[in-house]
Chains A and B, each alone.
Chain A
Amino acid sequence: MDQPSAPMPPGMRETAALIHKLKLEPPQSFLRKYVFSLDHKVIGKQYLDLALVAVVTGMVLSWFMRFHLAFPKSTVPLLSTLAPKSAADGLMTPEMYLALMTMHGTIMVFFVLTTAPFAGFGNYVLPIQVGAEDMAFPRFNMMSFWVTFTAFLVLVAAFFVPDGPPISGWTAYAPLSAIGKDAGPGMGTGQTLWAISIALFCVGQLLGALNFIATTLDLRAKGMTLARLPFSTWAWFITSVIGLIAFSVLFPALVLLILDRVAGTSFFIPAGLVVSDKLQPHSGGSPMLWQHLFWFFGHPEVYIAILPGFGIISHILPAFLRKPLLGPRVLIACMAAIALLSYTVWGHHMFLSGMNPVSATLFSVPTLIITIPATITTLLWIGSIYGARIRLTTAALFCLGFVSVFVSGGISGFFLAQPSIDTYLHGTYFVVGHFHFVMAVAAIFGIFAGTYFWFPKMYGKMMNETLGKWHFFLTFIGVYCIFMPMHYLGLAGNVRRYSAFTDDYMQGSLPLHRFITFAALFTGAAQLLFLLNLVYSRLKGPPAPVNPWEATSLEWTVPSPPPLDNFGGAHPEVFHGPNEYGVKGSSGDFVMQNSPEKVAGE
């Protein structure tokens, strides 16, 4: 490590003293080192581990659902063991299906798609990429994780209360979610736990966003202008701004929902509502109010899940293309435009909620407009591949896979953006296929790309490329087999959210449902390769050099794994942007951001 030691920029001094003190006296106890750590790297890994536990949980739930959809009259394996009371005979009830669906969606959207690409990788990588020793507020950062972890425990606790988890879906539409146990099994304690969990989650993510924003603005190393920030840091920064506003609106919605449930208020519950033969003692509330507040959060949440993927892909791709990404400023502008527009489109989730057709059109237009920056970024990625001598590592493959599934899922969005077409498709599997591709699988591919790319930095060991490539190809084929047919099912009128199609006109779709179920089980099994790779590489992987991918950004200037204060007491100075690939540099065909050499044409 022979970093040129530059004078500290003024913004850094404030927290530097605290951080420095913490770093110079490294925590000795196990609790301080691995559990209640203030180190952003440990917190980032904690978030990733939480996401791993959550994604396995969510995926297993989806297997139960898929099995029941494919074989509606058969007993579900293991179900009577896992739920000895509610499924003593091993058969899944419609209510249990809805409970699994609710928990699958909630766990995946909040505890996987938000925690891993944003909080997980962002925490680990962002401070190093900007050249800081840690986040701006390490204590808030630690709180952010532990509040999120508590939120996860509270949510999972819903499995263990007598009535089980709620059945209102991850969107928890009122009044179903607001009236309590009259609304069905799980709508008592289970739904209250759900609301408390998500409220806690909001607090955790707001603390995270606070740190990301302050760190990016104030703790940048000397020479690290905004224009020189790596794309991934830009994406995490923009995502923080989206999250700051989105979670600030979801939290109030949950406060009002909890009050309706426990304090007898009537924010969301209309007058004269009779549920389970009981007149609900509420008056005048507006169920649409919940939908507006929820989707004002909910649509930006889609971008909270996917924009970090944009950043990760844009950061990783040029390192394997060995040429600069096209239009770096356009890319950043597009991400900012998406962030801005994400607040103008929430009504497209509510076309069927009794919306005035004029309002529907007003929400439809920005929904179509927001596809423009998304399309431009996609074209920039694809255009950058032209003429590249691509190094097809596993991380690069997952980047290309990301572009593929994002485009596949994005195109079906054009259809759904139009109220007249959405009227037919909204309640069908077309939507399930659409959002799983564009939001879920794409974000997961971003997570995989990030894992294969940064694992050597995080653990000091290279991952196994053969296992990685098998993992990629099986997963890539698998997800297309799962989600592509869903579009066809939707066009054929196959409604979603139903637990089974046994005695109706959808009988004919059963063979396709079975195919999807087998594909889901197969793709799930393929993930064992990934888990195996994680464990095997950590134990037996070859040691990782400082810069195995010959990448330009600051995290590749420090040892793998980095020391406690990231830069070993030095203060890096930055001379270039992150996009200096395919140029003649002292180290080869690229120039590191902290290399003081001149680059022709810069």
Chain B
Amino acid sequence: MMEAVETAPPVVPSRTGVWVGIAAITMSFAAYTSAMLVRESAAADWAHFHLPAILYWNTLVLLASSGTLEMARRRLALPEAAGAARAGQGLLAATLALGLLFVAGQVMAWRQLAAQGVYLATGPSASFFYVFTVLHALHLLGGVIGLVVTSARVRADGGTRALAALGSASVYWHFMAVLWVYLLVVLTIEV
């Protein structure tokens, strides 16, 4: 057997866990996407409709939340700098607020479509629109919980372990933004 040459990098299980979760979510949205492509070509009943314009504003809100999160993490990593911890916590709160604003914006988009008579079962394109957006919003709310829990840990003790956990939650949060941009592109092309 091989000689032990273990110069292991500092691996954090929560980081591994988040990447494994990202793999699972990526795979499931790949499945939904391929289902959409198969369904679109299965019959001639695919109806295009205009995406609500608010979706694009929501996109900006979500991308901004990724920005505030990174700014927050930079400040929290410098505990010795005066006021950095408070500024960091403020930016974390802003991130959460932007995240919830995004979800509220998605709800607005659903209501606008419903007002036009586009419901889940109206047609296959509408079905996939709601499946994509609702599932993404649910996953994002999971990210909100992750940020709330890990930022509370950072507040309680600003050690490297708490920051590493916040870092793992941040990876997930950024992935939610990337996933949303992907879904928006797919929806813009197909729906």
A residues with CB within 8 A of B: 9-11, 13-15, 17, 136-137, 140, 206, 209-210, 213-215, 217-219, 222-223, 225, 227-228, 244-245, 247-249, 251-253, 255-256, 259, 263-267, 270-271, 283-286, 288-289, 292-293, 296, 574-577, 579, 602
B21 within 8 A of A: yes
Query: What residues of chain B lie closer than 8 Å to A285, measured between beta carbons?
Result: 39, 42-43, 124
B13 touches A14 (CB 8 A): yes
Query: What residues of chain A lie closer than 8 Å to B35, measured between beta carbons?
Result: 252-253, 256, 267, 289, 293
A293 touches B16 (CB 8 A): no
The distance in angstroms between the C-alpha atoms of A196 and B10, with both chains bound, is 40
Closest B residue to A12 by beta carbon equals B13
Known: A10-B10, A225-B2, A289-B38. A249 touches B17 (CB 8 A): no
Closest B residue to A137 by beta carbon equals B17
Contact with A along B72-99 (1 / 0, CB 8 A): 0000000000000000000000000000
Identify which of residues 114-130 in chain B touch chain A, using a CB-to-CB cut-off of 8 Å: 120-121, 124, 127
B31 touches A206 (CB 8 A): no
Rank and list the top 10 A-B pairs by shortest CB-CB distance, nearest first: A284-B43, A248-B27, A264-B121, A286-B42, A577-B1, A11-B11, A136-B13, A284-B45, A10-B10, A252-B31
B107 within 8 A of A: no
A9 partner, pick from B8, B30, B32, B38, beta carbons under 8 A: B8
Contact with A along B155-167 (1 / 0, CB 8 A): 0000001001100
The distance in angstroms between the C-alpha atoms of A577 and B14, with both chains bound, is 28
Interface of A is mostly: helix
B121 touches A249 (CB 8 A): no
Whole-angstrom distance between the Cβ of A180 and the nearest chain B Cβ: 14
Closest A residue to B165 by beta carbon equals A14
A252 partner, pick from B1, B21, B28, beta carbons under 8 A: B28
The distance in angstroms between the C-alpha atoms of A15 and B15, with both chains bound, is 12
B4 within 8 A of A: yes
Query: Interface residues of B toward A: which range?
Result: 35 or more
Whole-angstrom distance between the Cβ of B1 and the nearest chain A Cβ: 4
A267 touches B127 (CB 8 A): yes
B20 touches A210 (CB 8 A): yes
Whole-angstrom distance between the Cβ of A485 and the nearest chain B Cβ: 39
Known: A284-B45, A289-B35. A218 touches B16 (CB 8 A): yes
B residues with CB within 8 A of A: 1-2, 4-6, 8-14, 16-17, 20-21, 23-25, 27-28, 30-32, 35, 38-39, 42-46, 120-121, 124, 127, 131, 135, 161, 164-165
The distance in angstroms between the C-alpha atoms of A214 and B15, with both chains bound, is 9
B31 partner, pick from A10, A136, A249, beta carbons under 8 A: A249
Further pairs besides A285-B42, A577-B1: 8, Cβ < 8 Å: A10-B8, A10-B11, A217-B11, A225-B4, A251-B28, A256-B32, A264-B120, A574-B4
Known: A252-B32, A253-B31. A14 touches B38 (CB 8 A): no
B4 touches A223 (CB 8 A): yes
Known: A244-B20, A267-B35, A284-B42. A11 touches B12 (CB 8 A): yes
B43 touches A271 (CB 8 A): yes
Closest A residue to B134 by beta carbon equals A255
Whole-angstrom distance between the Cβ of B128 and the nearest chain A Cβ: 9
A217 touches B38 (CB 8 A): no
Whole-angstrom distance between the Cβ of B129 and the nearest chain A Cβ: 11
Query: What residues of chain B lie closer than 8 Å to A574, measured between beta carbons?
Result: 4
Query: What residues of chain A lie closer than 8 Å to B8, measured between beta carbons?
Result: 9-11
Query: What residues of chain A lie closer than 8 Å to B161, measured between beta carbons?
Result: 13-14, 17
A259 partner, pick from B10, B39, B120, beta carbons under 8 A: B120
B28 partner, pick from A140, A213, A248, A288, beta carbons under 8 A: A248
Whole-angstrom distance between the Cβ of B130 and the nearest chain A Cβ: 9
B124 partner, pick from A13, A15, A255, A284, beta carbons under 8 A: A284
CB<8 Å pairs between A and B, sample of 10: A10-B10, A11-B8, A11-B12, A209-B24, A214-B16, A218-B16, A219-B13, A244-B27, A267-B35, A286-B42
Closest A residue to B38 by beta carbon equals A289
Whole-angstrom distance between the Cβ of A287 and the nearest chain B Cβ: 9
A270 touches B127 (CB 8 A): no
Closest B residue to A245 by beta carbon equals B27
B20 touches A14 (CB 8 A): no
A217 touches B127 (CB 8 A): no
Query: What residues of chain B lie closer than 8 Å to A264, measured between beta carbons?
Result: 120-121
Query: What residues of chain A lie closer than 8 Å to B21, measured between beta carbons?
Result: 210
**Listed residue (B8, B20, B30, B43) with the most chain A CB atoms within 10 angstroms of its CB:** B20
The distance in angstroms between the C-alpha atoms of A218 and B12, with both chains bound, is 7
B120 touches A263 (CB 8 A): yes
B24 touches A244 (CB 8 A): yes
The distance in angstroms between the C-alpha atoms of A210 and B18, with both chains bound, is 9
Query: What residues of chain B lie closer than 8 Å to A256, measured between beta carbons?
Result: 32, 35, 131
B1 touches A209 (CB 8 A): no
B17 partner, pick from A214, A270, A577, A579, beta carbons under 8 A: A214
Query: What residues of chain B lie closer than 8 Å to A267, measured between beta carbons?
Result: 35, 39, 124, 127
**Listed residue (A13, A140, A222, A579) with the most chain B CB atoms within 10 angstroms of its CB:** A13
Query: What residues of chain B lie closer than 8 Å to A288, measured between beta carbons?
Result: 38, 42
Closest A residue to B5 by beta carbon equals A225
B14 partner, pick from A14, A223, A225, beta carbons under 8 A: A14
